[in-house]
Amino acid sequence: MRAALGQEGRSPRPGSRVLIGATAVLLVLLGSIASAQVEGPPPQACDAPTRSMTLFAEQLGPKRFGYGLTPGSASIPGPTLEMYEGECLTVTLVNETDRRLSMHAHGVDYTVASDGTPMNHGCVAPEHARTFVFAAHPPAVRPDGSLEAGSAGYWHYHDHCMGGDHGTEGIRSGLFGAFIVRRPGDPLPDVPTFVATMGPGMTINLLKAPNTPIFEAQEGQRVEFVVVGYGDLFHTFHLHGHRWVDNRTGIPGAPGDPSPVIDNRTLGPADSFGFQVIAGEGVGPGAWMYHCHVQGHSDAGMTGIFLVTTADGQVTSAAGDALQRWLEGEHHDHEI
């Protein structure tokens, strides 16, 4: 009788049988996995990549790291990666630091072989390299008749290994960048894409005003913003003087498109979005502020400038005066 009871003669707790059963199942599963014979490397998202590139991870200073396309060119954020739906891209990450790190992408197709996480053995040791394979698919119809969305969108990539299983230290140190997937026929910007990462902390691209980026374009040029959230806080991205459509590109899909027109959008950690606008359209040249509209965050330095010059590249006197005031900190008004 005593042998059928739990310790000290008590019956097992109600949940203990479930726990013991689950443990037994897990042990059997692990045993079967260990005994399974898997030959060859794990499959990738595609067998015949259409493009390839190399990304170099480098230390930029105390507690600062970045990605670059060539040795010595690392930056924060890292280079913007681009591909079209239907393409397959290989990215060889060369780790030139003394820390373990990786590359983990959002929005694109990849298998566990390119997950870029410790769990799936995707970390790159110091002075080593690893190739990640990413594919982007167009919209399709599944065998059951349901629709599958394509990969096109404004995404991002980041470290997932430095300092722990989630790469928290790597992200806080600057290991991140934008990843754009375009659809054939999408309009292209006239100038390089502007990337604003909001966070970690009260920063934009790990900087605080007046050291945050000044994005510059000429009146009438098509410009593109990619906004990404990192860290532990929610932010709002507001752009003065310009509006965009709240859809995949920021551009109306057709005349009468019912999508809302916005100039402010909330994003949380790992959220990303992008949009295109015409610089100065309807409002003219100027020093146009972009910032987090959480008031305490903007006061803490989460603000930058979108400088729109004249069509021939001249900074107007009004824009120059406004920019000078912003650089000197006079845009902060703490009076109640």
Structure confidence by residue, pLDDT tens digits, 294-304: 999 999 999 99
| Type of residue found at 104 | H
More confident residue, 250 or 254: 250
What pLDDT score was predicted for residue 21? 57
Together in a domain, 151 and 235 = no
138-151 pLDDT, tens digit per residue, is 999 999 999 999 99
Q: What are phi and psi of 12, to 5 degrees?
A: -60, 150
93-121 pLDDT, tens digit per residue, is 999 999 999 999 999 999 999 999 999 99
- Counting the structural domains of the chain, the total is 2
Beta-sheet pairing, 235-239 with 286-292: antiparallel
Write down the residue that tokens 């399974």 correspond to. 36
What pLDDT score was predicted for residue 22? 56
Helix, strand, coil in percent for the chain, rounding step 5 = 15, 35, 50
pLDDT for 38 beyond 90: no
Q: What is the CATH number of the domain that holds 221?
A: 2.60.40.420
**What's this model's pTM, rounded to 2 decimal places?**
0.86
More confident residue, 1 or 222: 222
Q: How confident is the model at residue 329 (pLDDT cuts 50, 70, 90)?
A: confident
Q: Hey, is 238 helix, strand or coil?
A: strand
Together in a domain, 206 and 284 = yes
pLDDT for 164 beyond 80: yes
Together in a domain, 166 and 259 = no
42-62 pLDDT, tens digit per residue, is 899 998 899 999 999 999 999
Together in a domain, 175 and 220 = no
C-alpha 226/C-alpha 198 separation (Å) is 11
268-290 pLDDT, tens digit per residue, is 999 999 999 999 999 999 999 99
Together in a domain, 121 and 213 = no
C-alpha 335/C-alpha 283 separation (Å) is 29
The per-residue pLDDT of the chain, averaged, comes to: 89
Buried b (16+ CB within 10 A) or exposed e, 172-201: bbbbbbbbbbbbeeeeebeeebbbbbbbbb
The DSSP annotation for 264-303 comes to EEEE-TT-EEEEEEETTTTT-SEEEEEEE-SHHHHHTT-E
Give the tokens for residue 61.
Answer: 């200073």
pLDDT for 10 beyond 50: no
Residue 251 structural domain: 194-327
What pLDDT score was predicted for residue 196? 98
What pLDDT score was predicted for residue 336? 31
Residues facing 154 on adjacent strands: 180
Residues facing 266 on adjacent strands: 236
pLDDT for 255 beyond 80: yes
Q: Hey, is 40 helix, strand or coil?
A: coil
Residues facing 290 on adjacent strands: 239, 304
Together in a domain, 228 and 141 = no
Are the C-beta atoms of 246 and 259 separated by less than 8 Å? Answer: yes
Together in a domain, 245 and 275 = yes
Nearest to 161, CA basis, from 114, 206, 205, 125: 125
Together in a domain, 254 and 168 = no
CA 191 from chain centre, in angstroms, equals: 20
Write down the residue that tokens 């691209």 correspond to. 205
What pLDDT score was predicted for residue 17? 55
Q: Give the Å distances, CA to CA, from 168 to 43, 97, 115, 173.
A: 28, 17, 16, 9
Domain membership of residue 62 (yes or no) is yes
C-alpha 325/C-alpha 322 separation (Å) is 5
Q: Which of 155, 182, 209 is a domain's end point?
A: 182
